[in-house]
Structure 1
Amino acid sequence: MLGELPRERSTLLIRLMGGGRVLREAVEDFRRLPQDAPERAIGLGPLLRFRAAVAEVGPATPEEEEIVMTTQELVEQFIEQGRTQGMARATITLYEARFGPMPSTLRSAVEAMRDLAMLEKWHLLAGTGTREEVHDAITAVIAGRSS
């Protein structure tokens, strides 16, 4: 039984297939995972598809309504992550269209950036600034992180 599994990270993906208390606790544990956790990459798609299916027909039970509510934060995180990844790709593409291949240290910094406002600044700079201004702006953030 899924309810007998220990509430630990190694059982999380299996517990997400449960119901009731087991599923509620698994969703709580899932929400607490770091953004780069492998379990997040594996489980997010199926969890969001399940949520979308329940939301589309309307929750039939209080348990289904709770799943829709408790996974709303995950939906918002997924959307925000997509926006930041898209802006990072767009920034790299724009830079490379203007200046040629982006140095790997800058590319890594742009791909790792999770602050959408910063990515938007870099994107604007990649479109309007000089190569040196882009390098200086990104390098300043890299230097700030390592100090």
Structure 2
Amino acid sequence: MKRFLPLLLLPLLGSAPKALPPVLPDSARLLTLRINGQPVEADTISSRFFLGTDRALRLNIVRADDPDGEGLTIIIDRFPIQAGTYTFQEILSGRNRDASYRYGSTAAYSKSCPDNPGSVTITGINAARHWLAGSYRCQVCESGRGGKRLTLEGTFRYPVEKE
């Protein structure tokens, strides 16, 4: 009888709840922004991701409290439209990658920092629906002497428009 006890428990295993993979929508307008670790609401209507005919990818992330402002702009020149990590330190490879940030009277640029680490990581591409998913992180420094260093980071799942 002890040999058949495990067989009696099999129907109970079938009734256990199964973990289903999350269903993600085909459209995308998810965008987060943190400045020096503090969350800042991003404006998903004013923010735009553009892919130019020269294959330059431009991420323009605008703050919700300044929808007419410039916000954060990250440029990746010669974007190969594939998943991967694109870092700002690869400027010597012939690809122009930099970031700039403007909010009110604050203007900051990645090239103003003596060390300007930054990256955009593309984790998903939906060519049919024209969106990218991933994350970004960059350091920018205020223009001028003694400017503050700002770390801007976040995640996205966002439509890409042709420029």
TM-score, normalised with respect to structure 1: 0.22
The structure where strand makes up a greater share of residues is: 2
The structure where helix makes up a greater share of residues is: 1
TM-score, normalised with respect to structure 2: 0.20
